[in-house]
Structure 1
Amino acid sequence: MTDTRQLRARYRRILRFAARYMVLEWWFELVLPRFGLERVAARRRLVRAARIARSFHGLAVDLGGLMIKVGQFMSSRLDVLPSEITRELEGLQDEVPAVDFTLIRESVERELGMPLERAYEYFDPTPVAAASFGQVHRARLIANDAVDVGFSAVVVKVQRPGIADIITVDLAALRRVASWLNRVRFISRRVDLPALLEEFAIISLREIDYLNEGSNAERFAENFVDDPRIDAPEVVWERSTRRILTLADATAIKINDHAKLVAAGIDPAEVADELSRAMFEQLFMHRFFHADPHPGNIFVTPADPDRADQSTPEWTLTFIDFGMMGDVPENLSRGLQRLIIAAAARDAPGLVASVRDMGILLRSAESAPLERALGELFDRFGGMGFSELQQVDPQEFRAFGNEFSEVVRTMPFQLPENFLLIIRAISVTSGVASDLNSSYNVWTAIEPFAARLARDEGGGTVKELAKQALSSAGLILRLPQQLESVATLMQRGQLAVETPGADKRLRMIELLVRRLISAVLFTALLIGGILVRDTDPTIGLVLIIGSALPLAHVLFAGVVNRNRLF
């Protein structure tokens, strides 16, 4: 059990860190613009963001526990954070020292209810790997257990002592911070922070349930039971609990170790193809997938050259670490299908509508800017194949990408967790495969699965595309009549144009004028008080104190009225 005083100190330290940088950003983003210093505030905005990320990196490494997971999690939330932050966080690893072996021994013996020597014939005191939630040790089963399961070499994943208490405290602190930030209208309109935190909490709590991880490993293995190329380590349930997980030792050649692959007579390009096939089969066929397929979690295991059955493959891909797994639910699968249909039809409004239906775009979003940006994207690049895109001037790509990113960044996007895990799995897989084979193309790899899905749908996709085409044709046929109606209304002087943006700007101008008057009063009272303080201290003090009232109006009236405007 972690010391209560240490937990309280940890809680306060997290809150102090958050409060410090919230006040700093409040000063730059709210106070300085009140005095017409928007450019000063904006000039180093990205530099400040990167500095905050670096400071959080230091805090996470120092505290360990959930804070490291927060950094790793947020580094993949490109829908929420700018790249200046994610770039600083993406290198954050489990940079924590190993737990003293005495504590590991105590934990294992307490969980298994027996001395370590009775549970394992051998247990290596030096960990293979140490992470924020646990660490892994090599071990060897006693003879009787080895006979029962069919192997003796195992790895034992041991949860860090007190990590459950640490996670509870960290989540409490993060919920407090999220509630602070959620009161800021600008943030709450763009990100549902409490919901984001709860999805993160669910993922983290699942990761420290090793029985859940063991079940995931068995489910994964069952999905590939007829595939001799894909494997997962067997779970030793007799030596596993919620805090201890014992697995067959599957250590082999790391998938990104080119030299060892070639030395073993294994073609890295072939490994890339098999990895890609395995991942897309998980996503499209099983709808249950490994969400963290980085090189440390996948081994290439050469077959025994003296094996009796020479028909078995010469090597297998062995996945490990099933704490972070993802499901593709039916509703998300349907949403993805609608999104693909809209993209195929180059229907920007339809694509935005499908994104909104999946919860990726918050309901409060004004979709017109995104629709225009997508329309420009379809018009410029929509008809190009991969080879044609490679011929486009890189500067044009860069210019369009910057413009499109600016539009997307202002939109209140928030990816559902399952969707985020899908993107993560595909991007990590693509990166590993590209490293193994420089000519790897993720779109070429996905085509067979897309075609197979279309066949399995029984023509449903074709029907949707036909429906989309008929809808577009109907719009084209109705367009001349609609233009004629608009012209008639203009001639009659009955054409009304709604301009909610203009009304909002007029109200903002009115508020700015009022606050400008308050700023002038503040300046006059303050300077007047300073000037007369030497001759009449009482009146000078009254004037200086009185200047606080118009100053308060300048600083805070905008916050109150902004909530009304938005």
Structure 2
Amino acid sequence: MIRTIRNLARLIVIMRTLGRHDALFPHELRDVAPGVASFARLISAKNVSGRPGQRLAAALRDLGPSFIKLGQILSTRSDLVGEAIAADLAELQDKLPPFPAEEARRIIETELGRPIDELYESFDEKPIAAASIAQVHFAIIAKRPDGADPRGDYARGHDGRGEPNDPRSREVAVKVLRPGIELAFRRDLDLFRWLSELALTVQPRLKRLRPGEVVQIFADTVRMEMDLRMEASAASELADNFRGDDAFNVPRVDWDRTSQRVLTLERIRGIKVDEVDRIRAAGFDPDDVLAQASSSFFNQVFRDGFFHADLHPGNLFVNESGNIAPVDFGIMGRLDRATRYYLADMLLGFLNGDYRRVAEVHFQAGYVPAHQNIENFTQACRAIGEPLLNKPLHEISIGRLLAQLLAVTEQFEMETQPQLLLLQKSMLTAEGVGRALNPDINMWELARPLIEDWMRENRGPEARVVDELEGVMNALRTLPRVVKATETAANMIVEGGIRLHSETVREILDGTVRRRQRMMWSMWLATMAVLALLVLAVG
């Protein structure tokens, strides 16, 4: 009862805020929830300017940190809110008033167990940025009393060598979680879960929108972001993936000054990637920057399967060496090898006009259920791909293509693929950066040599043979366990562990032997076939 009263009171505030911004969308709710639509019309303000997505973003901004973060999550779910609203929510910036510097100092000292004057030689009182979960201060690392370099592992660059003579390498950015943010999010998460349960009770047809799943994704994302050690780990992993690649400079982590609520990173000095005039004035060619951004994004997605999922211009800089430098590693995406293969085959099928292959890839990956009609799905893929064939390459958006594909596949009972939704949003953001640098160049065309090399190495005949051989070897490795388990079960039956009729025991044992023989022959034939293919491919 207390939970219901508390959430109802909060809900009244939410409805008033949404109504003030005309963000309740009574027309859209008319078919799925007529009663709610009527109420929405009564409390919605009139003559509010802006697109629906812009009005919703403004309302979420007024409602505070949890709702800002929810809006950012919804921006990755164009399948739920539509492409137009998702695009507007993607512009949602979580700039909020900062909390006092005294509070930031207290959190840092409590978390790291030392006075701030020992931790940092200087600490800027004024934060450089204040977001929904944390704010950032610039600082300089304190000198150690013994005169040794205080940076330790932090001082090592991408090549592992120290930089003791670079004074600016001691400049850092300190990220501090907002005080009480965990409690605030916990309360709002309870409200979101309550609302999702209430929505399904009042209107079961909303089940297709999976509101509970959206809330859970939101909860998982927030939990990761509120442990800054996880962000530090993501930055460290991304830096390792680009070790030796000067074109993509990930800031180094100072682990000695990092904890759950405090993150200390190398300070990045540079120009926002969309400030083209400043980039030129600094002596750098925007086309070179675009090429670096294109190759680094491709390498993150296809080579490593680990990508920065929030690369908007505010998180991407051109540093003093003319290289790309990312910041803010709270939202990262992962793609396993099977998903990367699916993406490569799917994109290649679209670009070659082979829509049957695109359909087959979806069925082989298990994204579209086997009972669906592959011919109908091929036709749907053609409807997406044909409009692209006559367009100039720089007008083709791979991110939009993927968004349209995800929207169509829902009609064929394709289950939601969160990793693809996050990737699609990231692709659109990356393409926006590319257009800002040069609207006449397609970033995917710049990455074509990398794509071709990767496809040849990972999707060519030799690679397919190796994959098949790996599959057979994995099966062979599990075979002894299967045989042992079969023998154990047979012994239990014979020794009376399970009481069965003697004829039944004989049938089971005979069947077990036959299955084992068939398995051995199958493994042997498969191995010989794969080895033969390997010899042919290599020869």
**1:187 corresponds to which letter in structure 2?**
L
1:143–1:152 CA contact under 8 A, matched in 2 = no
Match of 2:253 among 223, 235, 248: 235
**Residue range with higher mean Cα deviation, 417-426 or 237-246:** 417-426
1:279-294 paired onto structure 2 within 5 Å: 279-294=297-312
1:154–1:247 CA contact under 8 A, matched in 2 = yes
Cα distance change of structure 1 residues 411 and 87 upon mapping to structure 2, 3 Å threshold: farther
2:309–2:422 CA contact under 8 A, matched in 1 = yes
Unmatched 5+ stretches in structure 2? 156-168, 397-403, 466-539
- C-alpha distance in 1, partners of 2:4/2:62? 14
Q: Structure 2 length as normaliser, TM-score? A: 0.68
**Residue range with higher mean Cα deviation, 50-59 or 433-442:** 50-59
Highest RCO, 1 vs 2 (Cα 8 Å, sep ≥ 6): 1
- Whichever of the two has the greater Rg, that structure is 1
1:321-336 paired onto structure 2 within 5 Å: 321-336=328-343
Counterpart check, 1:435 vs 2:436: yes
**1:455 corresponds to which letter in structure 2?**
R
**1:147 corresponds to which letter in structure 2?**
D
CA RMSD, 1 decimal: 4.3
Structure 1 position 387, deviation (Å): 3.8
Structure 1 position 115, deviation (Å): 2.5
**2:330 corresponds to which letter in structure 1?**
G
1:477-556 paired onto structure 2 within 5 Å: none
- C-alpha distance in 2, partners of 1:232/1:54? 33
Structure 1 position 454, deviation (Å): 2.2
1:250-399 paired onto structure 2 within 5 Å: 250-303=268-321, 315-340=322-347, 343=350, 351-352=358-359, 354-355=361-362, 371-377=378-384, 380-381=386-387, 384=389, 386-387=391-392
**Residue range with higher mean Cα deviation, 67-76 or 142-151:** 142-151
Counterpart check, 1:13 vs 2:20: no
Q: Structure 1 length as normaliser, TM-score? A: 0.65
Structure 1 position 411, deviation (Å): 6.8
What secondary structure sits across from 2:323 in the alignment? Answer: strand
**1:436 corresponds to which letter in structure 2?**
L
1:454–1:461 CA contact under 8 A, matched in 2 = no
2:291–2:447 CA contact under 8 A, matched in 1 = no
- C-alpha distance in 1, partners of 2:52/2:387? 37
Structure 1 position 71, deviation (Å): 0.9
1:127–1:137 CA contact under 8 A, matched in 2 = yes
Sequence identity percentage: 27
What secondary structure sits across from 2:137 in the alignment? Answer: strand
1:380-419 paired onto structure 2 within 5 Å: 380-381=386-387, 384=389, 386-387=391-392, 415-419=416-420
2:75–2:425 CA contact under 8 A, matched in 1 = no
1:224–1:230 CA contact under 8 A, matched in 2 = yes
Residue matched to 2:215: 197
- C-alpha distance in 2, partners of 1:366/1:359? 14
Residue matched to 1:128: 128
Cα distance change of structure 1 residues 452 and 139 upon mapping to structure 2, 3 Å threshold: same
Structure 1 position 267, deviation (Å): 0.6
Residue matched to 1:454: 455
1:490-539 residue CA offsets vs partner (Å, 9 max, x unmatched): xxxxxxxxxxxxxxxxxxxxxxxxxxxxxxxxxxxxxxxxxxxxxxxxxx
- C-alpha distance in 2, partners of 1:365/1:181? 30
What secondary structure sits across from 1:300 in the alignment? Answer: strand
Structure 1 position 338, deviation (Å): 4.8
1:284-320 residue CA offsets vs partner (Å, 9 max, x unmatched): 11111111111111221224xxxxxxxxxxx322121
1:299–1:318 CA contact under 8 A, matched in 2 = yes
- C-alpha distance in 2, partners of 1:218/1:390? 35
- C-alpha distance in 1, partners of 2:211/2:358? 25
What secondary structure sits across from 1:138 in the alignment? Answer: strand
Residue matched to 1:521: none
- C-alpha distance in 1, partners of 2:70/2:371? 27
Cα distance change of structure 1 residues 365 and 131 upon mapping to structure 2, 3 Å threshold: farther
1:359–1:416 CA contact under 8 A, matched in 2 = no
Residue matched to 1:97: 97
Cα distance change of structure 1 residues 91 and 320 upon mapping to structure 2, 3 Å threshold: closer
2:394–2:439 CA contact under 8 A, matched in 1 = no
Residue matched to 2:161: none
What secondary structure sits across from 1:299 in the alignment? Answer: strand
1:118-169 residue CA offsets vs partner (Å, 9 max, x unmatched): 2222111111000000000011121119822154311100000111111222
- C-alpha distance in 1, partners of 2:29/2:426? 39
Counterpart check, 1:160 vs 2:178: yes
1:53–1:85 CA contact under 8 A, matched in 2 = yes
Structure 1 position 268, deviation (Å): 0.9
2:269–2:320 CA contact under 8 A, matched in 1 = no
Cα distance change of structure 1 residues 406 and 113 upon mapping to structure 2, 3 Å threshold: closer
1:47-106 residue CA offsets vs partner (Å, 9 max, x unmatched): 99x887566434422332221011122123212212453355343211321112222222
Cα distance change of structure 1 residues 441 and 30 upon mapping to structure 2, 3 Å threshold: closer
Structure 1 position 450, deviation (Å): 2.6
Residue matched to 2:241: 223
Counterpart check, 1:187 vs 2:206: yes
Residue matched to 1:63: 63
Cα distance change of structure 1 residues 54 and 342 upon mapping to structure 2, 3 Å threshold: closer
Structure 1 position 428, deviation (Å): 1.5
Unmatched 5+ stretches in structure 1? 304-314, 392-402, 465-566
Residue matched to 1:28: 30
Cα distance change of structure 1 residues 291 and 331 upon mapping to structure 2, 3 Å threshold: same
Counterpart check, 1:110 vs 2:128: no
- C-alpha distance in 2, partners of 1:56/1:444? 35
- C-alpha distance in 2, partners of 1:181/1:368? 36
Cα distance change of structure 1 residues 452 and 211 upon mapping to structure 2, 3 Å threshold: same
1:300-346 residue CA offsets vs partner (Å, 9 max, x unmatched): 1224xxxxxxxxxxx32212111111111123224334534654675
**1:78 corresponds to which letter in structure 2?**
S
1:7–1:166 CA contact under 8 A, matched in 2 = no
- C-alpha distance in 1, partners of 2:257/2:344? 43
- C-alpha distance in 2, partners of 1:297/1:27? 36
**1:328 corresponds to which letter in structure 2?**
L
Structure 1 position 29, deviation (Å): 2.2
- C-alpha distance in 1, partners of 2:439/2:259? 43
- C-alpha distance in 1, partners of 2:406/2:341? 27
